[in-house]
Amino acid sequence: MPIFLDLTRISSRLLRGAPTGIDRVEFAYAQELVSEAKYGPVVPVITTPVATGAIPVETMRRHLDKIEAGWLRDRAEAGDDPFYTELKAAIDLPPEPKQSGARRLKRQSRRQAAAKTLQFPFRKIATAPRLMRRSLAGTRGETRCYFHASHTQLDKPDRFDWLGEHAVPSVFLLHDAIPVDYPEFCSPGSAARHHARLETVSRRASLVIVNSDATRSAISRYIAAQGWRVPAIEVVHLGVDRWFLGNGANRSSASTRTHLPARPYFVCVGTIEPRKNLIFLFNVWRGLVEKLGEAAPKLVLVGRRGWENENMVDILERSTAIGPHLIEVADLSDLGLSALLKGARALVAPSLVEGFSLPVAEALAMGTPVIASDIDVHREIAGSRALLVDPIDGPSWVRAIAGMTEPESALRAEWADRAKGYEPPSWEGHVARSMAAIRAAVGAGA
């Protein structure tokens, strides 16, 4: 069955030093369908605001190889990422009492380096519409499908009129309904754009794949409330990359207390934005500093600065109370992140709302304890494997983090043992489940 695979996001976000969660999802499908060619004929598709086109498979394969190198996915050890080495040294430093604000680590000349090595062959864009027409004509009469996994351009419904004109069934992977359910957590205009995306999906989708039952409920509820058609929805949990998947060595070293660094630290992963509940987490850290003094653990924030985050940035840049205990880092490779999680006392995930929460799955897969907010998606993904705490119960968070900071912590040992039984899918497994659902929806046995 020929798959018209939309790879617009991967093709247009190459100057970023490390992938976001949605980047990882689209890249996983690109690897399995384009690089590995596991599922038969594929047509890489680019959807721009003014045109839709196809890119030659070999061109896209070379492009994906460059992405792999740019994201340091071709490295074997965390030490191969000099940025991780710098971060590890910063964690080992004692708190500097006179420090104002967090220690912020940034890659030097990352954008310039990426611009030299990761440029998409945009000359192919000129011929992309013609190749798209040929691809559609060449597959006429066959069972075929369009697959889109990134939300990109879905707020422009006319960009998808070709699906109806050429009778191409379509499948969309949706990540959340947060912009329409919680517009206060998003940038201005996000709610209107997501409303338009969901309307496009309602009109076009033969099947919708979602990352969690929490997302399924939110999306189906919103679409039904608009009086639109609710398409079939399949829940397929996201995969975990090879650096996080728990072989025996990873799990034992993550959970053995004697292998932990002498200076304790916790990790929080995600874009610095309102729904991540970071103001609350900073107040928790203030309580830890008041309780433990210089023995308070460090908090390593892994993620880029997002939107509507002025209050968070004020603390990151000016706080003298908790600044010496904060480290802010963006563009950390997956290899570096896995090594960081391996030495952490725990991952902390206090989010108020999530579509999936990939860092929780990654940490648990390594056997690293997780302290997470007690919200629907964390109950679904982690269940009893993570210590779930009310996201506004500050004293309980202080107790949990302080308890896991203690030398020879029995609390940490308990939750590390619970994490050992966590078995998430790999990205290969995730894609395989999605492809089975697509074949069932579009054409059995195709």
- In the chain, where are the structural domains located? 3-72+113-239+427-442, 82-107+242-419
pLDDT band, residue 121 (cuts 50/70/90) = low
Inter-residue contact 318 to 358 (CB < 8 Å):
no
Question: Same fold for the domain at 3-72+113-239+427-442 and the one at 82-107+242-419?
Answer: yes
| 433 vs 426: CA distance, rounded Å | 11
Query: Which pLDDT score is estimated for 236?
Result: 98
* CATH classification for the domain delimited by 3-72+113-239+427-442, as one of 2.60.120, 3.30.1240, 3.40.50, 2.160.20: 3.40.50
What is the residue whose two structure tokens read 């908090």?
A: 299
Mean local confidence (pLDDT), 14-33:
86
pLDDT tens-place string over residues 340-386: 999 999 999 999 999 999 999 999 999 999 999 999 999 999 999 99
Query: Which pLDDT score is estimated for 306?
Result: 87
CATH for 82-107+242-419?
A: 3.40.50.2000
pLDDT band, residue 79 (cuts 50/70/90) = low
Task: Answer yes or no: is pLDDT of 436 > 50.
Answer: yes
| pTM for the full predicted model | 0.91
Task: Answer yes or no: is pLDDT of 123 > 80.
Answer: no
**16-48 per-residue burial string, b: 16 or more CB within 10 A, e: under 16:** bbbbbbbbbbbbbbbbbbbeeeebebbbbbbbb
SS3 72: coil
* β 3-6/145-148 pair status: parallel
Query: Which pLDDT score is estimated for 255?
Result: 43
Query: Which pLDDT score is estimated for 99?
Result: 84
Top pLDDT among 325 and 306 is at: 325
Mean local confidence (pLDDT), 179-200:
97
Query: Which pLDDT score is estimated for 13?
Result: 62
| 350 vs 154: CA distance, rounded Å | 30
Looking at mean pLDDT, say which of 58-62, 243-247, 330-334 comes out highest: 58-62
pLDDT band, residue 307 (cuts 50/70/90) = confident
Mean pLDDT in the chain?
90
Looking at mean pLDDT, say which of 64-68, 112-116, 232-236 comes out highest: 232-236
Query: Which pLDDT score is estimated for 253?
Result: 42
Task: Answer yes or no: is pLDDT of 143 > 80.
Answer: yes
Closest among 74, 9, 90 to 302, alpha carbons compared: 90
